[in-house]
Structure 1
Amino acid sequence: MRSHRAGNALAAFSFVLWGILPLYYQFLPQANIDELLAMRIIFSVPVMLIVIAILRRPFPSLHTIWADKRSLVATTIAAAIMCISWYAFTWAITHDQVLAASLGFFINPLFAIALGVLFLKERLSHAQSAAVVLAIAGIGYQVWHYGELPWISLIMGSFFALYGLCKKYIRYDALTSVTLEAAILAPFALCFIIAQGISGNSVALLSGLSTLFLYIGSAPVTLAPLIFFALAINRTSLTMVGLMQYIEPTLQFLLAVFLFGEVFDEVKAISFSLIWLGLFLCTLEALQGIYKNKYVHAEQSGV
């Protein structure tokens, strides 16, 4: 029971950290997104190795990693997909589009549901079916009024869901896979940063130490919630994790509207409300499932 509570607390804390992440990027307005992503990749490797050492987790040998080629290929694909998702997210929160980032994370579970049906042969419940329809209606309402798709939100939501799907095919543990993702991309990122420095076009390297440290700091600040999440995942249920994941986009939504002053007009209010309604139905269904499981367990235990 104590372990379960600790898992819930760690999961909630990880989503809070993700939710307030836009605050850090306010120090990097109009950042060079290419360099920011490259710096994050490069410095993620030493950060993750330090974390693994501190937690005293065994890191598999290169022979063990190479022996599981299916996981290695899936990890490589996951790394590329995460790059696209993080690129869109970083662009949004450094270009006054935190609401778009929030919307992307709100619709991510619905993309995950759709991918589960398409690739994992999962069946939609009535609540999930309604949520998907409501999300399509919400996005469609924005398109009808604005005349364009919310591309940043859709890219974030869909690619993060694809990243989760890839994780289903990786047999390495969570910390190992995250470290490998960065290590696979690090040589390309390092070559890019060196080329930028030689050409004299590097913002990170040529704008002073404070800017450089902010670019480097993007690695630990984005990895911290991921590490807490990895520690939580084996200590709590996936259902609880699913319910708590809405902490992140909710905090980002509140920051966008009340701190950053982004426009939340009637069109966005209706669009978000339709998506929130679908998520509310899924949440009710999940809570009902938790209650039923506890009731069945109590009956079987003779309580």
Structure 2
Amino acid sequence: MSATRLGNLLAALSFVAYGLLPLYYALLPGAQMDELLALRIVTSAPAMLLLILLLGRQPLSLTAIWSDRRSLLLCLVASLLMCVSWYSFTWALTHGQVLAASLGFFINPLMAVALGVLFLGDRLSPAQRWAVLLAAAGIGYQVWQYGELPWLSLVMGGFFALYGLVKKYIRFDALNSVMVEALLLVPLALAYLLWRHESQGLTAASSGFTTLLLYLGSGPVTLIPLVLFTLAINRTSLTMVGLMQYIEPSLQFLLATLVFAEAFDEVKAVSFGLIWLGLGLCSVEALLNSRRRAL
């Protein structure tokens, strides 16, 4: 399997895993987002270290990390960008806004494509151009009908697109870069948890053992798709990753409407329909290109 095909497969698996996350966070309705974010950071670092060791990889030494200060700084930037995107994403999932999360990650590929073209020299195929135009039309129609910008969705998708762009410039390998991102924020997360425990108590610790486990599991459960995404981002183009990301919001859309019974009106039907049409064009183009290469 070529590096590009492997990258595409890893990206697809990443977005399937992301798409199914609402099922996990449905178990934490109205979660305390500050605690959830801090615990995710704290548990992510040892989970990443364990994963690296289990895969037989070598964790980066402190000397190696410090010797590449540019990548270290970019890891800090990436971790902060991911915190904003993750916070808005999990807030939506734990507050009955799964459709908003779905829209956020329908918007994200548009932003990822734009960043890829502007900063990385990616070029769009004819089907990709149509996909971008149709997705923009679908989102624009929803904004026009509702009379307001979907701020939660825009923040979620925009910051994740910026995260993907920054990852392109980090020279650490995929797994170690995610570990470094987590490690950089662990001291802040621990300090916040200690302060909150002393000042008002931790909701995660006072809501029962099952709830505590769910809070603690928020780190590892979100690391799986993030690691797959990180492995994919350096093996394929940002444009391709951006367009494949439609897998995630499509799954979230199905969960929102079929499992969580969120309202889906005619405006959303038109908006999502235009976006899915663009995805279909890209899929057909990719299939035809694959057959031509096989011949």
TM-score, length of structure 2 as denominator length: 0.89
Aligned to 1:147: 147
- CA shift, 1:2, in A, is 11
Amino acid at match of 1:187: P
**Gapped regions of structure 2 (runs ≥ 5):** none
* Equivalent-residue separation in structure 2 for 1:7 and 1:160 (angstroms): 18
Note if 1:50 corresponds to 2:47. Answer: no
Q: Which residue of 1 aligns with 2:72?
A: 72
Q: Is the 8 A contact 1:49 1:179 kept in 2?
A: yes
Structure 2 SS opposite 1:290? helix
Gaps of at least 5 residues in structure 1 are 296-303
**What residue identity is the alignment partner of 1:119?**
F
Q: Distance in 2 between matches of 1:194 and 1:156?
A: 28
The alignment partner of 1:28 has SS state of coil
User: What secondary structure, in the 3-state scheme, does the structure 2 residue paired with 1:264 have?
Assistant: coil
Letter matched to residue 107 of structure 2: I
Larger of the two Rg values belongs to structure: 1
The Cα of 1:5 is off from its aligned counterpart by 9.2
Partner of 2:138: 138
Residues 10 and 228 in structure 1, CA contact (< 8 A), matched pair in contact too: yes
Q: 1:288 to 1:237 in 2, by over 3 A?
A: farther
Spell out, residue by residue over 1:28-85, the C-alpha distance to the aligned partner (whole angstroms, 9 max, x if none): 1011111111110011011111111111101121111111122111111111100011
Q: Which amino acid aligns with 1:94?
A: T
1:157 aligns to what?
157
% of aligned pairs identical?
63
Q: Tell me, what secondary structure is at the counterpart of 2:27?
A: coil
Normalization by structure 1: what TM-score? 0.87
1:146 deviation in Å? 1.2
How far apart, CA to CA, are the structure 2 residues paired with 1:152 and 1:165?
A: 20
1:301 aligned residue: none
The residue type paired with residue 124 of structure 1 is: L
Q: How many angstroms apart in 2 are the aligned matches of 1:229 and 1:122?
A: 18
Contact kept in structure 1, 2:110 and 2:136, CA below 8 Å:
no
Q: Which residue does 1:275 correspond to in 2? A: 275
Q: How does 1:63-142 map to 2 (within 5 A)?
A: 63-142=63-142
TM-superposed deviation, 1:111: 1.0
Tell whether the 8 Å contact from 1:47 to 1:220 is kept in structure 2 after alignment: yes
Number of equivalences: 294
Cα offset for 1:17? 2.4
Separation (CA, whole Å) in 1 of partners of 2:13 and 2:247: 9
- RMSD (Å) for aligned C-alpha atoms: 2.7
Residue 293 of structure 1 is matched in structure 2 by 293
Tell me the equivalent position of 1:217. Answer: 217
SS in 2 for 1:29: coil
| Equivalent position of 1:166 in the other structure | 166
